[in-house]
Chain A
Amino acid sequence: MMASNYNAKEEDGHQPAAIGHGGAGTVKNKKPDNTAFKQQRLPAWQPILTAGTVLPAFFVIGLIFIPIGIGLFVTSNNIKELEVTSQLIVPCYNCSQSYSWNSTKPCTCSVPFSLDQPFESNVFMYYGLSNFYQNHRRYVKSRDDSQLNGDKASLKSPSKECEPYRTSDEKPIAPCGAIANSLFNDTLELYYIDPNGSRTAIPLVKKGIAWWTDKHVKFRNPGGNDNLTVVFQGTSKPVNWRKSVYELDPSDPDNNGFINEDFIVWMRTAALPTFRKLYRIIHKKPNMTPTLPLGRYILEVTYNYPVRSFEGRKRMILSTISWMGGKNPFLGIAYITVGSVCFFLGIVLLIIHHKYGNRNHSADIRS
């Protein structure tokens, strides 16, 4: 022990260096510079895990997480959500069994359902698909962003990634690729059945369902929005489509072609094989009546989209939302669990610390 830092003074440079200070132009020696960096003496904070820091941290985390979790859980529970699985109903089941891409005539069916509580505020209508691998590597890359962004060169000759949906009848497909080709094209309509038996169509808003950036930056029609028919001349519609891309919503030029919002929503591929996509919005009524009062409803489905082949499931979801998005109790439960575990761990560690803690640190260290 005694040998450490032998001659520290002499060699540490605390003593003014005789050489170099005396006069200008003295011999430059090889003595290393005395900087904190080179001598590895940079000032530093050296935290260690002590009972004083770890235990309070556990308790604090526990105390913070549990209320957050409760808040999240309550919020999630307050969200009203209704899921309608269309296949379960006989007419639609028949549709789903018989329908394929080749069918020329759409199959329609209606699904009755009822709400046991009114939905206040805005209600969002989703369609959900299960077992649909929108995240498959070959599927995900089967698109041409330049084409969708309105690049005319890409319109005429789409990227290779779009194969085999790149050309049809020697004409380029617009929009090309497997994603676009498999666009969800069922039509859903919602009717409220009055207690007296009459059907009232519920107004469904089809705009404002896509990301702003997608609608305004990522997707653009070639040559702006003027006369899409001309612009898309010389291109072919995707094989599975019934109508061309410029016929998606002829009524509204701002919702037609590549910037059709249904199309944009579909093109934002899902991360997981079970997903829901926003279909329509039911805006809150200005008066005090609930957006969707409780009672019986009918969902009219124009069945265009075959899912039977891959054992997929179609769903229609009606949901209100909160500040934390849609209904998902997981976060709330997880927070409560983690918070409790933290708290519990804190207590366990505290007990262990009390029992064994002092023994070890007071023990002498052999030097």
Chain B
Amino acid sequence: MGSLLSQLGLECGRKEVKEEERHLRANDREFNLSYEYADNAIKTSKYNIFTFLPLNLFEQFQRLANAYFLFLLCLQLIPEISSLSWFTTVVPLVLVLSMTMAKDGSDDINRHRCDRQVNNRKVEVLIDGELRSEKWMDVQVGDIIKLENNQFVTADLLLLSSSEPLNLIYIETAELDGETNLKVKQALTVTGELEDCIEKLANFNGEVRCEPPNNRLDKFTGTLTLKGEMYSLDNERVLLRGCTLRNTQWCFGLVVFGGPDTKLMQNCGKTTLKRTSIDRLMNVLVLSIFGFLAVMCLILAVGNGIWEYQEGSKFAAFLPKQEGVNAPFSAFLTFWSYVIILNTVVPISLYVSVEIIRLGNSFYIDWDRKMYYPKSDTPAEARTTTLNEELGQIKYIFSDKTGTLTQNIMTFNKCSINGKSYGELLDFSGQRVEINEKTEKVDFSWNNLADPKFCFHDHSLVEVVREGNPEVQAFFRLLALCHTVMPEEKKEGELYYQAQSPDEGALVTAARNFGFVFRSRTPESITVVEMGELVTYELLAVLDFNNVRKRMSVIVRSPEGKLTLYCKGADTIIFERLNPSCSKLKEVTTEHLNEYAGDGLRTLALAYKDIDPKYMEEWKLRHHEASTAMDEREEKLDALYEEIEKGLLLLGSTAVEDKLQDGVPQTIEQLSKADIKIWVLTGDKQETAENIGYSCNMLREEMTEVFIVSANTAEEVRKELQTARRKMRPDGPEEPTVTKSRSGLFCLLKTETVADEPVDGEYAMVINGHSLAFALEKDMEMELLRTACMCQTVICCRVTPLQKAQVVELVKKYKQAITLAIGDGANDVSMIKAAHIGVGISGQEGMQAVLSSDFSFAQFRYLQRLLLVHGRWSYLRMCKFLRYFFYKNFTFTFVHFWYGFFCGFSAQTVYDEWFITLYNLVYTALPVLALSLFDQDVNDRWSFQYPKLYAPGQLNQYFSKRAFVYTVLHSGYSSLVLFFIPWAAMYDTVRDDGKDIVDYQSFALLAQTCLLIAVSIQLGLDTHYWTSVNQFFLWGSLCVYFAVIFTMYSNGMFLIFTSSFPFIGTARNSLNQPNVWLTMLLTSILCVLPVVAYRFLRILLWPTVNDKVRYKVRQDKVLPPAPRRVQARRTSTRRSGYAFSHAQGYGDLVTSGRFLRWTPKSRPALFSQTDSPLAQTQPQFYRTINEGGEPPLSP
């Protein structure tokens, strides 16, 4: 409701007219202002100093409970109705309102601070012919701004000119899409000519017409009109807010979209207030309680009507009727009087207590040392404090891959050269030694060009290289030559490789460290420092990688004139093309490859071949012919490549580790044991994603089948999905079983739930973005959902941020299960926001994900602690709290109901008014808080030991409508005991000195004391974890109760405030009576006895996992062994293919040198394809850029 209000607030200030086209003119603020485009200031805060009080109060009173209490307060002002003093309502209400207000206020102050910080960043803006440093928020649409290296892009800009040749700039888009590799953007030549000439820029008056603000990161269409000529604009000319300028001294840009209109902000979506399912359930319950309350009041009101009619008129001699009040009217008044009295069924303190409990449990997350990552000094953080208990109910986890499961670091780990495997440490007995941080690293100091960050542990390899072993040298030479990496040497000897995929970088870096340093390249040559010697190879051809070939080769001529083809690629592909003489080596290498694959490494096979110069010349001619062929160019080239890549000689293989984050496979195993389904949604290629799937245990060799859905048309996708489903469940129904139900307040929400379908065996599904785009269409989503939910593991690759959110929404919509999304990059923001709970991995470069997440921590593995320990406990505590809270208040209230039958339905309270005021605030507040802050069924280690303990949360077992009904029945029983036992015990009796004991005041005291003792004992029964705080609060509260009644009923209080404390002497006179105490004992025992017996029987006959574990803990009396981390050795025979995660591209360029001859006019053809609907659904990977804008190579 709060968000609704803020939306209204926002909408009011904005024009309702929808923008259809954006039209702006550079350097012409007046012209642009006429369109009233949003400026660059962003605002996420809700209130300002003046609106805070009214807005906040308004928001708070929108809350059902608060409004209800305001209403009660009004009722109490009517003397005919008022059955309680005003303070019984005002005190709690004021307390609650002020606490919430304080919290909201401090939250908003933080938001203000954040906004101010961003809005006040400085940027250079061209105003009136000079550059001025301005705040971000003062930047207007149409301004020209200057950005410098490593600066954040201020707004969405049209790139005008840059410091680099060809008007290129490099940007990092980590904040936007999570990809860390640099991307290239290029300005139009016509604007590029402006360079950094301020005068020219100031006179620049181009007009831009473009699409209205939208959230498509990968698309931009518009035109620039300059001096009467039109130029078309596309995504490549646009710099988006959130990117960072890299490797570029400066650039100028024209602001197209500012502030809320930027694609970044448009993508952020509106922050919807997340509510937990318990919250929603609570609202429903509160509403039904209102209904229940109305029914109770109605019964009592009717009773009152009858009483007034039958008895009241006769009793009028003693108690005259109020003027003008007849029986029906009296019943009407009584109805409202009882509404006031029975208001405690919806206690206002419920919401406050819930908030406090959540806050407390959030603090536990912040404080947890086991979720603190020392390396980056980041503790876990609960950024939203209102979702804790939902952490204990997660059914689906959606995870990003890069940066979340993996560290996005590739390391050269092992290699097999000429039949010998390197990279493994063996001790004297030949056993493998586990490599950890303390293991001694190989010293590369002999090589002054070595990368200091590279580490390797096997000394023998270095020795072999330095000895000059020809195979080993050839191996590394191949790695140094056969790739498409771009080097950058800023200072002499300080090499940086700009690789399209991290694995390629890892291989070239390995070669560099072992003495084969790739130094520089030109289109025709590659310069390598081989063991300290500068060697330049002539590059004759690059036979580039693609998905079908799964290999790449280069043909080089050494300074000695020897022609060699170097080839690296997927082992299966290479092995097919080997010279028969290598068969022995092939066998050994295969063995090694199996071993590497078993360790989850990505492998490549390396081979080479010497080429006859004559053949080469002839081949080159044909190659030229083929590459200029008009038709079937691809096929012709492929055939040529196939022809020359034959009869290769095997060199060996490499094993690169896509470093998983620590503990990922174990965490995933744990989570799947807890019945949590994990879906990986990644922008990566299918091969990469599959590979990671295997290495982190999500895909397993022993799975019955792994379905791969990668089709190009809707029909094919549907067919593949159906086939998969039928395979998993041959006898299953064709139509999904959908349960339609209504939920939410007033049952307005229609929900459809697709039932879980059981399958035999374990299945997994891999689906690519292409197919996903079709599958997410309205008519197919059900098919996708059914098939996917039958699988243990689902991996979606090549998905866009939007699709990530769509997948999450799909599951949310039809499964009615609690979802969690975890990711680290800005591309995960949408899904983090869409899921019930969003978790951000902090400590990585981009903070976008963390900022929009609900919880954040540094390592994926902390997720298991967050869910299995904190989540489970939070859920347990919240449910216990709610059950107990409703119990104690219902019991409290029902006693009034029973008393109604004995006091002429006159809305007379059973208890002292002060007791009614203080019952929830003082006497029972702290013990129940202690219960819900400290309780744990079993400690964290056992929680890990038995992940099954997590299941009750997923099934909503601890608190549901059913549990609520049980609670109500339980309190019904308790209240019967608590009223009728004192009633019967006190009937017509007297004190031990013959004086009165059944007077109203003594009876009230007896009833309230019985009640307090009974609910305290019940609390004790519910508490599983008795810390000293629990004890202190429980006993303390009882003591406080007795202290308070003796004080309030004392002579002093009566004499000072005569009318407020009429209960003088009641405590003294009745608490010294043995039968009063005997009555209390009896009521307590009677309240507790059936509960104990029932619970004991349940544990005995139908024990839950929880009971069993608790029993076991008690039996063993020891902690479970702290499990050791065991490196899971898979016995898998599956080998990863050529799993480079890059797109085809560089290779072509490297040889052609086309970028040098390139002119803008020749380009349009390249872009025609990007506008097909299919391409639009593809992730944003800047393929087109590679072809046009290659950085110039240093000679």
Contacts and interface: CB of A to CB of B under 8 A. Distances in A.
Q: Do A and B bind each other?
A: yes
Interface in B239-290: none
Given A12-B370, A46-B1026, A273-B902, A265 B996 contact: yes
Interface in A83-123: 101, 122
B988 A311 contact: no
Contact of A352 (B666, B944, B1101): B1101
Given A178-B319, A271-B986, A330-B984, A361 B996 contact: no
A164 interface: yes
A229 interface: no
Interface string A37-66: 011111111111111001001100100010
B1092 interface: yes
The 9 residue pairs across chains A and B that have the minimum distance between CB atoms: A3-B666, A4-B944, A213-B1065, A271-B1003, A38-B367, A137-B906, A124-B994, A326-B990, A182-B318
Contact of B379 (A30, A72, A122, A331): A30
Given A48-B1110, A327-B989, A138 B670 contact: no
A367 B981 CA distance: 47
B985 A328 contact: yes
Nearest to A269: B1000
A70 interface: no
B368 A32 contact: yes
Nearest to A346: B1093
Contacts of B1028: 42-43
Interface residues of A, number: 118
A82 interface: no
Interface in A277-333: 277-278, 281, 306, 309-311, 319, 321-328, 330-331
Contacts of B87: none
B1075 interface: yes
Contact of A1 (B320, B371, B944): B944
A11 B1110 CA distance: 27
17 contacts: A1-B947, A2-B1124, A33-B367, A42-B1027, A48-B1114, A50-B1114, A133-B311, A213-B1069, A270-B998, A272-B902, A273-B904, A274-B988, A321-B993, A322-B992, A325-B992, A327-B988, A349-B1097
Nearest to B1007: A271
Given A44-B934, A135-B903, 9 more contacts: A3-B667, A72-B1078, A101-B317, A136-B315, A211-B995, A214-B1065, A217-B1065, A338-B1089, A361-B1112
A334 B984 contact: yes
Contacts of B1054: 149, 217-218
A168 interface: no
A200 interface: no
B229 interface: no
A48 B1097 contact: no
Interface in B361-380: 364, 366-374, 377-379
A360 B1085 contact: no
B1097 A352 contact: yes
B200 to A, nearest CB: 50
A164 to B, nearest CB: 6
B1004 interface: yes
A145 B1059 CA distance: 6
Contact of B1027 (A44, A47, A51, A356): A44
B601 to A, nearest CB: 21
B757 to A, nearest CB: 22
Nearest to A144: B1059
B172 to A, nearest CB: 27
B941 A5 contact: yes
B367 A6 contact: no
Contacts of A140: 908, 1000
A248 interface: no
Interface string A169-212: 00000000010011000000000000000000000000001111
Nearest to B939: A41
Contacts of A101: 317
A365 B1109 contact: yes
A275 B998 contact: yes
Contacts of B1099: 48-49
B713 interface: no
Contacts of B1055: 149, 217
A331 B1025 CA distance: 35
Contact of B369 (A34, A133, A357): A34
B1074 A323 contact: yes
Contacts of A61: 1085, 1089
B1108 A365 contact: yes
A353 B1097 CA distance: 8
Interface string B1051-1065: 100110011001011
B663 interface: yes
Nearest to A9: B1122
B1059 A138 contact: no
Contacts of A252: none
A356 B999 contact: no
A11 B319 contact: no
A13 interface: yes
A242 interface: no
Contacts of A324: 992, 1074-1075, 1078
A231 interface: no
B948 interface: yes
Nearest to B981: A334
B372 A30 contact: yes
B908 A135 contact: yes
A168 to B, nearest CB: 13
Nearest to A81: B988
B83 A211 contact: no
A243 interface: no
B727 interface: no
B334 to A, nearest CB: 9
B666 A2 contact: yes
Interface in A131-151: 131-140, 142, 144-146, 149, 151
A158 to B, nearest CB: 12
Contacts of B934: 40, 42, 44
A181 B983 CA distance: 27
Given A46-B1024, A217-B1055, A6 B1125 contact: yes
Contact of A46 (B908, B1000, B1025, B1078): B1025
Interface string B1087-1113: 001001101110111010101111111
Given A210-B995, A271-B1003, A363-B1108, A164 B936 contact: no
A269 B999 contact: yes
Contacts of B320: 164, 178
A133 B906 CA distance: 10
A32 B666 contact: no
Q: Which among A3, A32, A311, A331 has the highest number of chain B CB atoms within 10 Å?
A: A3
B999 A360 contact: no
Contacts of A46: 1024-1026, 1110, 1113-1114
Contact of A361 (B864, B1093, B1108): B1108
A345 B374 CA distance: 57
Interface in B341-391: 364, 366-374, 377-379
Interface string B36-66: 0000000000000000000000000000000
Nearest to A15: B374
Interface string A67-80: 01000100000000
A49 B1000 contact: no
A311 B315 CA distance: 9
A21 interface: no
A232 B581 CA distance: 131
B946 interface: yes
Q: Which among A135, A151, A211 has the highest number of chain B CB atoms within 10 Å?
A: A211
B669 interface: yes
Contact of A271 (B366, B662, B993, B999): B999
Given A1-B670, A13-B369, A272-B998, A29 B377 contact: yes
A214 B1063 CA distance: 10
A334 B1079 CA distance: 10
